[in-house]
Amino acid sequence: MGQAPWTTEIDEWYRSQIIYSGSSFTVRTKGGRSMVNDPMLSVTWYGAVAYCNWRSQQLGKQPCYDSATLEPIYPLPNGVRLATEAEWEYAARGGLNGKRFPWGDTITHSHANYYSYWSGGHYSYDVSPTNGCHPTWNDGVYPYTSPAGSFPANGYGLYDMAGNVWEWCNDWYGSYSSGSQTNPTGPTDGWSRVLRGGYWSTLAYYCRVAYRYYIRPGNRDYTIGFRVALDL
């Protein structure tokens, strides 16, 4: 039996931007552009936290995840880890209070890498005159990610908190408690881990700083990446 016809397509779907030659790893080039400054993607939650532990080791910090199970260690040690969901949203807001996005209440393609609806579309706060995926980063070859720093930073100096790729958070996904909490670390157990921020082909609604998404931690997709946090 020959190679399944969908093998190439699946490979495309799961592309991480990293190529293994059998002896070494390199960052791939897409359409003549090196992806070295684009977000890494197609990584499971476990892959992301394994990276965090490796990075902690490089920096002489404590690992934040159990080396056998890769579950978070609580209280969270002072090492490299994924942001808690609360930390992520705090960081995304960039010091603004009650705004829909990291910069304000409306969104255009000058702010972020996302899918803009046609005017008169679903969301009145999506005011981009351009439509569909971002015209600069839509090169016809998935994924349409953009290099870090392609859009203005938010008030905390952070890039791409809205759009580009979904970002794994540390927490299990679950309902918020009714009472207020200080520095919550999420439910103690669950099925899915939190994703935040939307990606290059999500609508404005999903790029809002309050929008919560989730997926099984063993899943990977070329829309999902991660960003790390470190207590100083």
Closest contact distance (angstroms) between CB of 169 and Ca ion is 11
The encoded tokens of residue 12 equal 């495309």
Interface map 197-226 toward Ca ion (x if CB under 5 A): x-----------------------------
Contact status: 94 vs Ca ion (CB under 5 A): no
Closest contact distance (angstroms) between CB of 19 and Ca ion is 23
Contact status: 53 vs Ca ion (CB under 5 A): no
Choose between 131 and 150: whose C-beta lies nearer to Ca ion.
131
Contact status: 164 vs Ca ion (CB under 5 A): yes
Taking CB atoms within 8 Å and a gap of at least 24, the contacts of 43-48 are 43/16, 43/168, 43/220, 43/224, 43/225, 43/226, 44/217, 44/218, 44/219, 44/220, 45/82, 45/168, 45/193, 45/217, 45/218, 46/70, 46/217, 46/218, 47/220, 48/82, 48/168, 48/226
CA nearest to 102, candidates 110, 113, 90 = 90
Choose between 49 and 224: whose C-beta lies nearer to Ca ion.
224
Choose between 79 and 197: whose C-beta lies nearer to Ca ion.
197
Contact status: 89 vs Ca ion (CB under 5 A): no
Q: Which residues bind Ca ion (CB under 5 A)?
A: 116, 128, 131, 160, 164, 197
